Amino acid sequence: MNDQRLRLDLTDLAEEVTVVDLRDRTLRTSRRLGVQRAVATSAAALVLIAAVTGTAFAIRPNQSPPPLPADTPSVIVTPTPTQSPSPTPSTSTSVAPNSPSGGSGQNTPTAEIGKLFYGPAEVTGAENANLRSWRPGDNPVRLLALPALALKGNVSVSPDGRRVAWVDSDGTSNNLFVANADGSDKQKVRSDVDPYCVTAVWSPDGRQLLFRETKANDAGGPGRYGVLDVRSTARTVRWWTTEPDACHALWSADGQTIAMNTDLGVTLYGTDGTTRRVVPGFSLDGWRSNDVASLSPDGSRIALLRKKSGGDAGDVARDLRVNVVLNTKTGQEIRLPLGGRELRQVYFQTDGSMVVRVQAGNGYAVLLVGEDGQKISETAEPAALKDMQILAVGA
Amino acid sequence: MDPSLSEFDSFVRTRTPALLRSAYLLTGDQHLAEDLVQSALARTHRSWGRLHHSGNAEAYTRKTMYHLQVSWWRRRRVPESMPGDLPEPRGGDSGPDHAQQTSLRLTLRAALAKLSPKQRAVLVLRFFEDRTEAEAAELLGVTVGTVKSQTAKSLAKLRAVAPELAELYVLEGSTR
């Protein structure tokens, strides 16, 4: 036999479908899409349609589990960090930098870059790799060794830089671990945790972890969000009553806002999972974002990777590259003083300033940019960090 | 009636059967296939003026359909409905041909359910719609290399989950 037999059998299988007239349903859907487009949430429109027509997605019984993201590990763990994102340097479309009203106000002359945490930019095949830290003026420091996939895909460093959380599989469950940054005091704190999409994230006080629990061996399937108190003896969890279709949670330093990627862009939530608002500026035919990297202390600005529609949206693994910082209320781009260089990463610090990583020759430089958008300082990164990406900025 | 609406009506009614067949292979379910086609057609309708004049309506609809099916948010939103349990392999060849064919169809259907949405999409494009690797890559918005690798993975997985199919198909994939 040859693959012609597969063609014939697929044709035979396809004939099972009953042809129906979709004209009226299509026009109804189109009208609803038109309404929803105003808020740039086509996915929400589909859900709304589902609720109204009773025909669509969410209400169908879960007759078999959704495919695991882990079904395509090569897709999940090998985003292309060495490829430059579509550059969106400051252009004439940018708006002037602004000072969010809820921020910490004027930059002080003493603003400085905190401790930067690094992991490999690419998974090279090594089973483990070391977390590293570096503070401008010091030498890089080697910290605990973690599974390479966790270091690339889900590790989270607490805001004070002392604790690390990550998810690793033991073959039967995806387990959530915490440890000190030097590797001591390692503890398993939960089982069956989403390792790729809603990766665990620390609360600003380093006491809690937001995570998403899944069914065993079903990392991409239905689940629930929980806020785990890692310092409590009983490891209590406050469960959300909602389960947003979202990935890549960020927790603002003021403790009030969770930002996550949803459908085409970003949605802001309260810490109990209630929806606050959708960040404008994303649409089916325009800009999209599947990856967010950092949220400002008051939730007014977000650093993310923004792409034009038409690309492959099938990868749930996180990508910490950044090509734009947006105002979360207006969706407008915030201009950064890049000096004509390519933007690679951005992390907000607790005082509202930004650590901005740019390409500089064969390596990188980190800029300290004040909340007012002005550059405060610039430091060349050590060459030893050339093949690494910044994972977090600690105090 | 608005002439453009009449043209859109005609487009929907002539292309729905073919779209539904592809959607059925992608989803494995009558209702989900209808939802998928309806969602793609609705997006086509939103851009009908531009698409109609450029003659790209069907290509746009198919592209939208495949993107919707493999997009991560929909994958999380839509529970897979294909029954995942493989039927018992048939023993010998004692049954009538049509019974054998029915058994094979059930096996193929269940095996497809074991694939990821993207793997299923690649198989449907390459072996049902008979698209070239370049055409499949363009429709999915991925590279030809991704189509090649996903095709190989899909066929390998079919072979793994339904060995009886491996006996029937040459599962190395073809390159065009």
**pLDDT score, position A222:** 64
- How many angstroms separate the CA atoms of A93 and B39, rounded? 33
> Distances from the Cα of A327 to the Cαs of A106, A300, A307, in angstroms?
18, 6, 17
Q: Which residue has the tokens 């430059």?
A: A84
Average pLDDT over residues B2-17: 84
The beta-carbon neighbor of A22 closest among B12, B21, B168 is B12
Per-residue confidence band for B139, with pLDDT thresholds at 50, 70 and 90: confident
Pairing of strands A187-190, A201-202: unpaired
Region for residue A171 given its phi and psi (left: phi exceeds 0; alpha: psi -120 to 50; beta: otherwise): left
Average pLDDT over residues B58-62: 88
Average pLDDT over residues B41-69: 84
The beta-carbon neighbor of A30 closest among B20, B45, B105 is B45
* Span(s) in chain A for CATH 2.120.10.30: 69-394
Q: Which residue has the tokens 């202390």?
A: A297
Amino acid at A87: P
Q: How far is CA B66 from the centre of its chain?
A: 8
> Distances from the Cα of A344 to the Cαs of A92, A376, B60, in angstroms?
20, 18, 33
- For A37, other C-beta atoms within 10 Å of its C-beta total 15
Contact B38 A67 (CB under 8 A): no
Using the 8-state DSSP alphabet, how is residue B142 labeled? S
- pLDDT: is B109 or A257 the higher one? A257
- How many angstroms separate the CA atoms of A217 and A199, rounded? 16
A319 membership: H or E segment, kind and range? none
Using the 8-state DSSP alphabet, how is residue A383 labeled? G
Tell me the pLDDT tens digit for each residue of A107-130.
Answer: 444 579 999 999 998 766 677 899
Contact B24 A12 (CB under 8 A): no
The ranges assigned to domains in chain B are 3-77, 97-168
Chain A contact for B36 (CB, 8 A cutoff): no
On whether the CB atoms of residues A212 and A197 are closer than 8 A, the answer is yes
- Four-way CATH pick for A69-394: 3.40.50.720, 2.120.10.30, 3.40.190.10, 3.30.70.3150: 2.120.10.30
Average pLDDT over residues B83-95: 46
Pairing of strands A201-202, A128-134: unpaired
ipTM beyond 0.90?
A: no
Contact B170 A3 (CB under 8 A): yes
A387 membership: H or E segment, kind and range? none
On whether the CB atoms of residues A303 and A322 are closer than 8 A, the answer is yes
Per-residue confidence band for A153, with pLDDT thresholds at 50, 70 and 90: confident
The beta-carbon neighbor of B38 closest among A6, A22, A285 is A22
Tell me the pLDDT tens digit for each residue of A330-353.
Answer: 999 999 999 999 999 999 999 999
Pairing of strands A201-202, A174-180: unpaired
A220 membership: H or E segment, kind and range? strand A218-229
Average pLDDT over residues A298-310: 88
**pLDDT score, position A219:** 53
In CATH, B97-168 is 1.10.10.10 = yes
Tell me the pLDDT tens digit for each residue of A68-78.
Answer: 222 222 222 32
Tell me the pLDDT tens digit for each residue of A256-274.
Answer: 999 998 877 899 999 999 9
Tell me the pLDDT tens digit for each residue of A30-67.
Answer: 776 655 443 333 333 333 333 333 332 222 223 233 32
- For A17, other C-beta atoms within 10 Å of its C-beta total 21
The two structure tokens encoding residue A315: 């990868």
Q: Which residue has the tokens 């607790």?
A: A350
Average pLDDT over residues A385-391: 95
Q: Residue A138 pLDDT > 60, yes or no? A: yes
Average pLDDT over residues A239-246: 88
On whether the CB atoms of residues B47 and B18 are closer than 8 A, the answer is no
- pLDDT: is A79 or A161 the higher one? A161
On whether the CB atoms of residues A328 and A352 are closer than 8 A, the answer is no
- How many angstroms separate the CA atoms of A339 and A320, rounded? 22
Best residue in B7, B13, B39, B128 to probe A by mutation, most A CBs within 10 Å?
B39
- How many angstroms separate the CA atoms of A327 and A103, rounded? 13
Which residues from A are below 8 Å from B37, CB to CB?
22
On whether the CB atoms of residues B79 and B36 are closer than 8 A, the answer is no
**pLDDT score, position B3:** 63
Q: Which residue has the tokens 């690309």?
A: A311
- How many angstroms separate the CA atoms of A154 and A199, rounded? 5
